[in-house]
């Protein structure tokens, strides 16, 4: 089993893109092996070398599943942390479930990595109060 992360490949390969989305980028604390991420990518018909820009929604879905895998791992462990207030159970599992939920929302919205279409947002311009957009520059 292997673990790899190359920052320069985040925008060109699915594996580092997914690893970045779930925050699994520290070599001293690997959460998932490359093969585990590759399996989740395969479930959405991608490979570790797939383009994450053109396949953003599928990558978000794979990343959400990976975050749930990490949450399950932390949930199955009795993880205690020492804090200035004493010993507390870690909230790592809950944090990864929040990451998964945020990624699921991106999948549901079909969010890709692209520039926003200004025509798809409601305007806050009020006639008689705001300047006409073309007149603001002048």
Tell me how many domains the chain contains: 1
Q: Is residue 52 part of a domain?
A: yes
pLDDT value at residue 66: 97
Q: Is residue 24 part of a domain?
A: yes
pLDDT value at residue 73: 87
pTM assigned to the model: 0.73
Give residue 41's domain range. 7-66+98-110
CA distance 1 to 34: 7
pLDDT means over runs of 10, the chain (138 residues) = 93 96 92 96 96 94 96 78 63 87 89 52 54 53
pLDDT value at residue 12: 95
Q: Is residue 19 part of a domain?
A: yes
Cβ partners under 8 Å of residue 60, min gap 6: 21, 103, 104, 106, 107, 111
CA distance 41 to 33: 13
Q: Is residue 32 part of a domain?
A: yes
Q: Is residue 120 part of a domain?
A: no
pLDDT value at residue 114: 46
pLDDT value at residue 8: 93
């Amino acid at each position: 089993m292997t673990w790899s992360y190359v920052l320069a490949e985040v925008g060109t390969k699915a594996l580092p893109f997914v690893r970045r989305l779930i925050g699994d980028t520290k070599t001293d604390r690997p959460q998932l092996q490359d093969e585990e991420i590759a399996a989740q990518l395969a479930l959405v018909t991608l490979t570790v070398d797939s383009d994450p820009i053109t396949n953003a929604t599928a990558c978000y879905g794979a990343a959400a599943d990976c975050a749930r895998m990490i949450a399950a791992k932390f949930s199955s462990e009795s993880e205690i942390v020492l804090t200035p207030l004493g010993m507390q159970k870690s909230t790592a599992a809950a944090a990864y479930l929040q990451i998964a939920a945020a990624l699921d929302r991106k999948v549901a919205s079909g969010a890709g990595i692209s520039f926003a279409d200004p025509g798809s947002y409601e305007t806050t311009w009020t006639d008689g109060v705001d300047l006409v957009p073309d007149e603001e520059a002048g």
